[in-house]
Structure 1
Amino acid sequence: MRSKIFDDAELERLRREAIPSSNESAMAGDAAPHSTDQHPHVEAAMDLPVVVYSNDDEIVSHELEQMRSILEETILETRSTPLENRPRLPRIPLSKRNRAVVRALNPMLVTYLEASRDLCETDSILFGAAVAVCRIIGAKLPMAGRATTQSSAIPAWRKRIEDRIAKARALIGRLTSFRSGNNRPRIMRTVRMAFAGTNISLSQPNITQKLTERIDDLKQKIAAWGKRIQRFSERSMRFNQNRLFHSDQKRLYKSLERPKVCGAGQGPDQADIIAFWRGLWSEPVNHSEGPWMEVVASQGVSVTPMDPITITPEDVAEAVRRATNWKSPGLDGLHHYWLKGFIVCHAVLARQFQEALDQKSLPSLFTTGITNLVPKDQDTTDPSKYRPITFAPVQNNALILISRKDG
């Protein structure tokens, strides 16, 4: 009730179910038809989005028409926008209202998805629907282009403390300068602000002693803030290690055995990176096959061929369910969360995945990824000292999970 999650009608229904009375039980048979006649579409409206605060059918219709208009607009925009210019989808809160918006757009997507010709067009429709959800709930979207640099890993609490330390050090510099005889207006204004609200006047004889006490006080605060940063950092490290111990002990022990690689140094030249990885990925290589290939081929003759794979919507739903919501997306910028929310796409994806397997081909979008280079040691200027990690579209992950299950 405090969070206003349910409207008054829903709260009253829950109250009647929790504390039934004899009078209400006796009148239940007569009251039910009357309620149905008065609000014939209340049950359907409760599953729909932004109007969970009202039972007025006209408001429901108005909101749905507005959402339909936004959806059509975003899908048209997405189809005409190159992949590299798509906005970066944010991580939206998993709130009841946001889930209701996603559920409301589900039936609206059926018309677009039924007309989809291939996986690329389905991906474009789903991305447009995700953008529509972000606009409806008011989530921030960059106007153009995807972010190419990662956001700072410094937590907000540390930034606040470091800002305090920076301001205190600047004030110490001004006070020290005034104590040395600098009477410039800017310095005087800062000193007056430092002693505002006290009975200390800049013209009193012991002002030098007061300045020294103020400077010492600021130095002690800086030392205390520095200790707080150290204490909070150690606590955060212990928390992350405990969490990693429960989820991936092997990764924890590896991080403890080897020093952490810092990638903040000078990176390699872009031309050197392109030349190095082009030699590995783009240049054709002629391999000399030895006699072992004939042995492997003869052993494979006796292997029973695998039964043909039939992908169903249930397979897609199960593969998507096991995936992480906000795993880093590929070139299309679509997260697993949207495949989970827009459940009407599962049947279309199953059909198009089946066609891709039967034709033994995938669109170029699903064979192209975004590669990030992670430094392996302290030599950050050598392109060969980086480990490539490629992010593929999330539909690829679903297809891989389905293949592993059936294979």
Structure 2
Amino acid sequence: MDGKDQTMDESSYRKNKGPSMKAYNTKKLREKTSEVNEIMRLIHTTSITETNNLACARARLEVELMGIQAPTPSSQPTQQKPKQQLPWKRLLEKQIMVMRSDLSKLKEMAKKRIRSKKTREALNEKYKVQEKGLNNTIEDIKMRIKAKVRKIQQCMNRNKGYQQNKLFRTNQKRLYSQLRGEDNHQEIPEAEPSKRLLESIWNNPVSHNKHAIWLQEVKAEEMGRIEKRFTEITTDTV
């Protein structure tokens, strides 16, 4: 396949993009570019789409003539990198994990299941167990964990609200689509079980006890009430 046929073949693919050359020899590139220009003069285009495809094919051809391997489009979808966790959130979650581990050790200490003297001394030095008392220390750590968890939730809600307010000012359509997407995650119950449940309730007549004690009590309470008559308010009344 000569240069002209190769260029025509490349120009038939609209999605092919010309790869960029990060390192090249200027003299060699000038020579190859002049060769490609001679070939391009022999190709005529009739639309802007063909011209665009031809420009992409020209870049690809120059790269191949320079001996640089052009990237090939991958058939597999690219995997998105997981979002990095916020530093402050990662720090708080690490602290919570450590405190939960210490809390379980203190509970085991209360049941006298920890035999390691080194562990008991470390916990006593860290939380002043002998001064506060073991039960008070356990309750104190529980409250600390709850406070840190609540702090994470409040910060995340505040951050989410800030992002939504910013998106409302810049792109309301995207904001509403995100809100609808969050609502769509709710599970929709199946129609057939719901239909059977409602049919079992409404299609089966049930007779209730008309002489129940609570009905008599309600009637006795209502006997002393005086019915309030309707009073029409007019302009003269006001």
TM-score (ref. length: structure 2): 0.44
The higher radius of gyration belongs to 2
Q: Relative contact order (alpha carbons < 8 A, sep ≥ 6): 1 or 2 greater?
A: 1
TM-score (norm 1): 0.27
